[in-house]
Chains A and B, each alone.
Chain A
Amino acid sequence: MAKIQLNGKKISIKSNFSLFDLLKKYKLNKKKVAIEHNGIIIQKVNFKNKYLKNNDKVEIVHFIGGG
């Protein structure tokens, strides 16, 4: 178990949980998002080998309507 902050909200995840697993958990398509892990932008190819640990901060963003 690990506690992380995802998009400003505290959530619990299993141990050995990667960014790829996190996307799967929330049914998100990696093609349509970008991820920042502890302030660093992670390339899509590295989602599978980037594992999460306690107190990590993750931001998942996407495009929305805007002017």
Chain B
Amino acid sequence: MVKLNKDIFKVANKSLRSRLIVGTGKYTSFTETAKAVKASGAEMVTVAVRRINILDKKKPILTDFLNPKKIIYLPNTAGCFNSEDALRTLRLAREMGGWKLVKLEVLGDKKTLYPNMIETIKSTKILVKEGFKVMVYCTDDPLLAKKLEDNGASAIMPLASPIGSGLGIQNKMNISMIIKQSKVPVIVDAGIGTASDATIAMELGCDGVLINSAIANAKKPILMAEAFKNAVISGRNAYLAGRMKKNQVASPSSPLKGII
């Protein structure tokens, strides 16, 4: 067990004990968000940057429920469909809290929310030059993932399936290829539907998983957050333990010697 305690997740100069990163969108209230984050054991959360509603002065704000001094905020560029908007959003995020660690996602299609990889690579290059640590949401194409790494991405975050779809990992082979070739952490982001999907990602050798909808849209989000916490630990431990070889034939579990 000593070895497992030393299994620290290092990403963009941060050392984390939990390999689960959770999103903070889609909850019914900030109280529920805070409870789910706590139950998940996550030490890093994604957040969005939006206009303040100036007409409603009493509206609660996220930072009052999740203290950015206690939990790492990972500002995202959700809803950005070009490089310009994504850069604008992240520069504002940096000014807001002084964070240089960000999640980049440049979307290409409103229906599938698939990332526009041309704009994503372009943005990564610029942000890295400006000193940002960029964790990048991307397609599960190994060639493009390599391009991101070559351009200085701090983490590669391929989708399991479309954002919010809950369809789980659709292309295990591609995710495995990306894991094999990457020197930076690989975090499966988007499309995870339930706890076992996260376990599969971790068993494949992913460094972490990012979950939002699967927890927030569960009937009992806080219980699901706990399920994901355990699923990620189980998957990671199974990966570290090394699974048995698959055999085409049966092999008895009890000794044949001494049968009466």
Contact = CB atoms under 8 A, between A and B. Distances in A.
A28 B163 contact: no
Interface residues of A, number: 24
A63 B95 contact: no
A21 interface: no
A13 interface: no
A32 to B, nearest CB: 6
Nearest to A59: B51
Interface in B39-68: 46-55, 57, 61-63, 68
Interface string A20-41: 0000001110001110100001
B20 interface: no
A63 B51 contact: no
Contacts of B53: 7
B239 interface: no
Contacts, number: 97
A9 B54 contact: yes
B73 A63 contact: yes
B23 interface: yes
Given A41-B92, A67-B24, A61 B50 contact: yes
A28 B27 CA distance: 24
B213 interface: yes
Contacts of A63: 47-49, 61-63, 68, 73, 75, 93, 96-97
- A contacts with B: majority SS: strand
B52 A7 contact: yes
A66 B23 contact: yes
A44 interface: yes
B51 A8 contact: yes
A8 B53 CA distance: 10
Given A7-B52, A61-B52, A65-B24, A34 B96 contact: yes
Contact of B46 (A6, A62, A66): A66
A24 to B, nearest CB: 12
A65 B47 contact: yes
Nearest to A27: B57
B76 interface: yes
A64 interface: yes
* Top-7 shortest CB links A-B: A66-B48, A67-B23, A67-B212, A34-B96, A65-B24, A34-B92, A34-B95
Interface of B: 23-27, 30, 33, 46-55, 57, 61-63, 68, 73, 75-76, 78, 88, 91-93, 95-97, 163-164, 210, 212-213
Interface of A: 6-9, 11, 26-28, 32-34, 36, 41, 43-44, 59-67
19 contacts: A6-B54, A8-B51, A11-B54, A32-B96, A34-B93, A34-B96, A43-B95, A44-B95, A61-B96, A63-B47, A63-B61, A63-B63, A64-B61, A65-B33, A65-B62, A67-B23, A67-B24, A67-B26, A67-B163
